[in-house]
């Protein structure tokens, strides 16, 4: 009984201190979240699908990102500056994340443009219905009523903004920008290794990895 209690206590300590998380696991979670978010955007082909994807994937994504960032903060707080830099630059998962980030930025931009066009189709269809009903110069006074779920995706920032932020200004990018000022003696050598590995993991297309 005592042995079981000790094991449970150890597991709780590891959980609270974030020792179960590492750069590979954190970046894997970020990659999965980014890909699932953009895949969900691709699934939106009408208002009904917009409702399904908003409810199941896109609207909960903000909390999901917040949980991952909490793990990243815990990981940082349990390491020295040198350990943070070394573990980041030696993490295969980090380079996979950095490479995918570039591709996903383009995917996101294309899908957002497509969703805007889909939203406009709904608005134009409503205008045609109003003309057919006898309104010679129709005006939609409340566009959200036409397609509320697409409206949330295209017009407001509440749904897609967290995803866009993760693709353009992720916490890892902010963390990386602090590395040169951490005063780690071996940083120049570690940074050279970082740059070489970025080239190895870069997408086949000519994309400059910037993180």
User: Is 60 exceeded by the pLDDT of residue 209?
Assistant: no
User: Is 50 exceeded by the pLDDT of residue 10?
Assistant: no
Q: How far is CA 69 from the centre of its chain?
A: 11
154 or 200, which is more confident?
154
pLDDT of residue 133: 93
Sketch the domain layout of the chain as residue ranges.
Answer: 2-201
Q: Supply the mean pLDDT for the chain.
A: 89
Work out the average pLDDT over 76-82: 95
Tokens of 86: 């070394």
Give 21-80 as a DSSP string.
Answer: --HHHHHHHHHHHHHHHHHHHHH--SHHHHHHHIIIIITTHHHHHHHHHHHHHHHHHTS-
81 or 1, which is more confident?
81
pLDDT of residue 206: 44
Work out the average pLDDT over 116-145: 95
pLDDT of residue 87: 96
DSSP single-letter state for residue 173: H
Report percent pLDDT > 90 for the chain.
77
To 5 degrees, how large is the angle CA 144–CA 145–CA 149?
A: 60
Angstrom distance (rounded) from CA 124 to CA 121: 5
33 or 186, which is more confident?
33
Burial of 63 (0-12, 13-18, 19+ CB in 10 A): exposed
What backbone torsions phi and psi does residue 186 show, to the nearest 5 degrees?
A: -90, 10
Angstrom distance (rounded) from CA 166 to CA 79: 23
Q: In terms of Cα–Cα distance, which of 27, 38, 101, 104 is closest to 68?
A: 27
Residue listed under structure tokens 């219905």: 129
User: Is 60 exceeded by the pLDDT of residue 11?
Assistant: no
pLDDT in tens, 141-175: 999 999 999 999 999 988 999 999 999 999 999 99
Work out the average pLDDT over 19-42: 95
Q: Which residues contact 33 (CB under 8 A, 6 or more apart)?
A: 61, 64, 65, 68, 166
């Amino acid at each position: 009984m005592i042995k079981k209690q000790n094991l449970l206590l150890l597991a709780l300590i590891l959980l609270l201190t974030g020792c179960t998380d590492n750069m590979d696991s954190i970046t894997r979670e970020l990659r999965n979240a980014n890909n699932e978010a953009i895949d969900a955007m691709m699934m939106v082909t009408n208002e009904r699908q917009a409702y399904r994807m908003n409810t199941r994937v896109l609207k909960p994504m903000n909390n999901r990102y917040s949980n991952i960032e909490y793990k990243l903060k815990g990981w940082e707080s349990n390491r020295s500056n040198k350990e943070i830099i070394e573990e980041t630059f030696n993490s295969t998962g980090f380079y996979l994340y950095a490479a995918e980030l570039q591709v996903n930025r383009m995917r996101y931009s294309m899908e957002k443009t497509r969703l805007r066009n889909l939203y406009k189709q709904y608005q134009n269809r409503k205008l045609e219905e109003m003309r057919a009903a006898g309104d010679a110069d129709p005006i939609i006074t409340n566009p959200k009523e036409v397609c509320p779920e697409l409206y949330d995706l295209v017009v407001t920032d509440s749904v897609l903004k967290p995803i866009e932020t993760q693709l353009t200004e992720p916490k890892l990018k902010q963390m990386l920008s602090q590395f040169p000022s951490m005063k780690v003696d071996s940083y120049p050598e570690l940074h050279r290794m970082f740059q070489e590995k970025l080239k190895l993991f870069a997408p086949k297309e000519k994309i400059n990895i910037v993180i």
